[in-house]
Amino acid sequence: MGMVGGVAAGLFMAFSDTYWSNTVEAEVYAPAMFLMVLALWLALRWQEVHGERGGDSILLVLVYVLFLGIGVHQTAFLAYFPLFWLFVVIVDRERLFDWRYWLVTLPLGIVIVISLAEPFMVVAGVLLVISFMGMEVGSKAYRQRWRFCFWFVLLALLGYTLQAFIPLRSALDPAIDENNPDNWERFMAYLERKQYGQTSMLEGMFRRKGSWLSQFGVHRRMGYWGFFRQGWAPVSWWPLVVGVGLLGMVVGWLRERRRWLFLMALMVLCSFVVVLWMNFSDGTRGVQLEVRDRDYFFTPTYVAFSLWMGLGVSGLLWLVLRYLKG
């Protein structure tokens, strides 16, 4: 039944409206979601072996994959927060009280939200030096914890270096050379997304550009619920879609609650928090209406809910087989 549920989840995701639309053209969201789903699989694999020798190496591969994903699209990085700030510490309780773990995972996540440019490089560089120095003193167990932190930061930086291709490519003056980021100043402005305005998204989030109804309800350009209810089937079928997903949530809660919390946190982050963060304009508050449908920003939501639906299919199959067996 687990295999059937996994196949169903993959098909639900592949044929969801937004995901399918993005995969049939040269877009970034399909490869970004591949990296995010790979990160989810690595997290579950780590859970199975985390007490074994070398188990933490999976977490190091995982952080590399997520920071590599930033170079494809920042939505791939969303899994970082529920993964390292929630899932890891509820699976391995020792890390919940390990200040070294929080010293590296908190700043790296926060600074990425604030800035992809110089602040991240500075913070990561400082953490790398501190971790390296920590490996040279103390007991073996003490050095081992610092060694994990060192490799965590180093692999995050290595994944981030994918950004270096941008000024190199721009220096060749290609036909499409948006913002011409071939020097340090323009490259930093490119990473900071300055072409979208000087106000940071963190600051802009507190000045709403649209009504709550437009952003969370049904709106042709940005309404989260409007996009969600037609994500897998015609609008009139949405109760069936939601019902299967809700059944999957029940099945997930009954089977493994730590994974349930992880996936639920990811879905909340990729839906409600993204709506708040992106703050799409409905044209009623002095800011131009969004120029196109913004459903693609919710692609990670469709991934998460497709997983719930896959669990729901497993639950339905179990109920059917149980009924047939009497």
Please write the tens of the pLDDT for every residue from 42-76: 999 999 998 888 889 999 999 999 999 998 988 89
Q: Convert the pLDDT of each residue in 126-165 to its tens digit.
A: 999 999 999 888 777 778 899 999 999 999 999 999 888 8
Confidence of residue 7 (pLDDT cuts 50, 70, 90): very high
- Whether 2 shows a pLDDT value over 80: the answer reads no
Distance between CA atoms of residues 268 and 271, nearest Å:
5
- Specify whether the CB–CB gap between 263 and 9 falls below 8 A: no
Token pair, residue 231, equals 């994500």
How many angstroms from the chain centroid is the CA of residue 91? Answer: 19
For residues 200 and 225, the model is more confident at 225
The residue whose two tokens read 């939501």 is: 301
User: Which residues, other chains included, contact 90 with Cβ-Cβ below 8 Å and sequence gap of 6+?
Assistant: 96, 258, 261
Its pTM stands at 0.91
Compute the radius of gyration of the chain from its Cα atoms: 21
Confidence of residue 251 (pLDDT cuts 50, 70, 90): very high
User: Which residues, other chains included, contact 136 with Cβ-Cβ below 8 Å and sequence gap of 6+?
Assistant: 143
The pLDDT value recorded for residue 172 is: 92
- Specify whether the CB–CB gap between 29 and 37 falls below 8 A: no
Q: Convert the pLDDT of each residue in 268-299 to its tens digit.
A: 999 999 999 999 999 898 888 998 889 989 99
